[in-house]
Structure 1
């Protein structure tokens, strides 16, 4: 229902817009003179024409003058509320509606518009009370039922919203908007088949609604019916070519199907429509990276950073590209920037650590690995890399602690037991080394071959075989 609903019929006089200023001038002069009684109908029609042509300030002026003369006219107070609502002056609109209701307490139209103002002010419980008053006066008022459903939806009480929307749909199967909202509620309560059915019913009633086709596409993709989802996005785009979100979602769906070049075209179209959409540009870069076109990937990651210079993911991803291209200092700069933007990101610390290690900054990599492990303590690969780095630096005790963390995460990890064995041998902890070696051989017999290659002088030792319990 429009906030500018009125009682006038299609047969009433509608002033051409080009004549509106002249009529306003004339009616203002009448209002200023105070002799309005013979011109009331003409002024009322002008008020409606101002509303129809979105000349709301002019409509407000006329209504305030009329209210000065007729302060007990509830209709004028109602229209003032409608105009103020249209001007986004919701608090003033609410006062006007309350004044109208003080003169005509049971007017359903005023109650419904008052609820709209209350909703716009965030007074959701008061809006619901107002609408329940409407239902007391008119239990079959579909607009009131529908709006209560919207209020529950806005409060994230979607199952309650569904109950009200279903009441409306049961009473009026041609109430198109209710199926749209049912689709939204069902989708967000993981009832995807019901959501699809609701959007299909909505589109039966309103087949040229781009948002309907778009939402239907989202549900189909969630149902793993990706091709059908793409078809729905195409229909949304055919209705509204500048529908950036539809182009973007179509790009995601095409990428999921491996149709990467088509996906790039869609993301480029989304970016063409919305030059502030850094995520569309990021996705273009991401696909180029997947296609191993690293120069193009860097170009688009850089473009996304120009749009949003605090785009953590873009810095991190560009850093990976620079690393792969051998541009290590640029990569390190990007990883550091990513860390500065999200200090709690284990991934950025891990990337920095691996890069530092690979360019010979081994000591620095220890700190980065430890930061990553602090943030993601159950990441086996992190602890293993840290343990190996300690091992390389000859920090055997720290290496042992890190390998113990690996075993905590993966109790049957033969590689960690084997490396613990080597560290214990270095520390002359023969008993502990042998126990670790036994466990490593038990979990992965192939490690014995590796051990014999690394320690050929030990493999034939009778003492060693006796310690292993083999003789």
Structure 2
């Protein structure tokens, strides 16, 4: 028997605290109805505080409103009422109660803190800030006010100011655990990953069984590229909280980056079982199967991602690549076209479409796709080269030559571009230009000379070719 089981067995002999509270509330209700409030105030206050702690909101409000009815100048009762209304999400009523409390006791720091929280919830940012600063005027080292100021700035992505206040809290009380946690988040948000990890470690010194802290530390380690330590963090996180789908997902990410593809599949499969409608999980599972060369399962997972989100551009593109790999070219082309419809200016989708069209003999369509690519990225010499080759295939030698010239202009050391231009020049009977380009190609890559001689034996026998290629001009 483990300790947890033993603790639960011992609990069977304990009284049910919830049942006790219900009995006390019933007794308090009867006291109020019988008009016996004055003689039972201490008991009623105890029941009120327990009601707040146990979230018995309506019951607590009934008690506090009756207490206020007979002692309307008790700031404590107004503070209790504000807390209960805040828990009920009645922020306007809650704010009025806290303001009444503070009017009766201007130095009530607890009420000022509560008021600032309600003001923040209502979007009254300036007022919330004033309330917190008022607390610090009264108690300059009030760690709760400093902590709440940190949260105030953190929620507004002002992480530098948030860090300043969280560190002030920790100077006052190093064991203020939540400040370490929030400090870790803030440092991570400004990409100071080393400090983030140190802060999470400090938090874990106090709270070693926090699944979210292990998880957040793991995320920081992934961003730092330390996948092995990240893996350890996510394993601890899911050991503490078995149904933590995000931790299973990122455990899969860590395993995949470590090359542990089988383990990555296991982790991601668990994540998909816990959260079957998260398209990102299915997408990454598909990528992992693709890395394992299990293309059918990859297609299945990408299809699931698309079923959940039919606007998932990356899933269409990845599934299209898988269809291409197994020879289902028309399905691949359909996916590439879907990807382009979703993200018209995607270079990856247009490139995949162009290359597939070229490979299945749809040369004219591939030319249109390559032209779109050079419009999107005119500085890509490789695409200009492919466009030149496609033009060559359909006998459009002028445009082919122009494309080769673009390629050479972008990458003057591309021997194959000079060779392609030379072939076009020969076809256009521009012998001198052809020989010039051949010389450049052979100089950049001597192996091309042998290949060219094999492909064009009739040119090799030409005396002009021999003289010019060898650089022997008259």
TM-score range, shorter chain: 0.7 to 0.9
Asked if residue 387 in structure 1 is aligned to residue 416 in structure 2, the reply is: no
Give RMSD over aligned pairs. Answer: 2.7
Secondary structure in structure 2 of the residue aligned to 1:203: helix
- In the TM superposition, residue 313 of structure 1 has moved relative to its aligned partner by 1.4
Residue in structure 1 matched with residue 320 of structure 2 by the alignment? 319
1:377 match: 378
Q: Which residue of 1 aligns with 2:263?
A: 262
Shift of residue 248 of structure 1?
1.1
Cα displacement (A) at 1:295: 1.2
Does residue 458 of structure 1 match 2:459?
A: yes
Q: Distance in 2 between matches of 1:459 and 1:413?
A: 22
- Within a 5 Å distance, the mapping from 1:13-412 to structure 2 comes to 16-18=17-19, 24=25, 27=28, 36-64=37-65, 66-67=67-68, 70-412=71-413
Cα deviations by residue, 1:258-309 (Å, 9 ceiling, x for unpaired): 1100110000111111122222222221111111111111112122222222
- Structure 1 gaps, min length 5: 1-13
2-structure distance, mates of 1:239, 1:433: 72
Q: Deviations over 1:188-240 (max 9, x none)?
A: 33333322222221111111111111122223334443222222222112211
Gaps of 5+ in 2: 1-14
Q: Which residue of 1 aligns with 2:6?
A: none
Distance 1:404 1:126, change over 3 A: farther
Question: In structure 2, do the counterparts of structure 1 residues 74 and 358 end up closer, same or farther at CA, with 3 Å as the change threshold?
Answer: same
Distance in 2, Cα, partners of 1:94 & 1:19: 31
Deviates more, 1:422-431 or 1:319-328: 422-431
Tell me if structure 2 keeps the 8 A contact 1:346–1:373.
no
Following TM superposition, by how much is the alpha carbon of 1:30 offset from its aligned partner in structure 2, in angstroms?
6.2
1:418-437 matches, within 5 Å, as 418-437=419-438
> What is residue 5 of structure 2 aligned with on the other side?
none
Structure 2 contact 363–393 (Cα < 8 Å) conserved: no
CA distance in 1, matches of 2:35, 2:378: 81
Aligned counterparts of 2:406 and 2:60: Cα–Cα separation in 1: 74
Residue by residue over 1:371-420, the C-alpha shift from the partner in whole angstroms, topping out at 9 and shown as x without a partner, is 23333333333332222111211222322333344334433222122212
Provide the C-alpha distance between the structure 2 equivalents of 1:72 and 1:452, rounded to a whole number of angstroms: 106
**Cα distance change of structure 1 residues 115 and 430 upon mapping to structure 2, 3 Å threshold:** farther
User: How far, CA to CA, are the matches of 2:49 and 2:120 in structure 1?
Assistant: 25
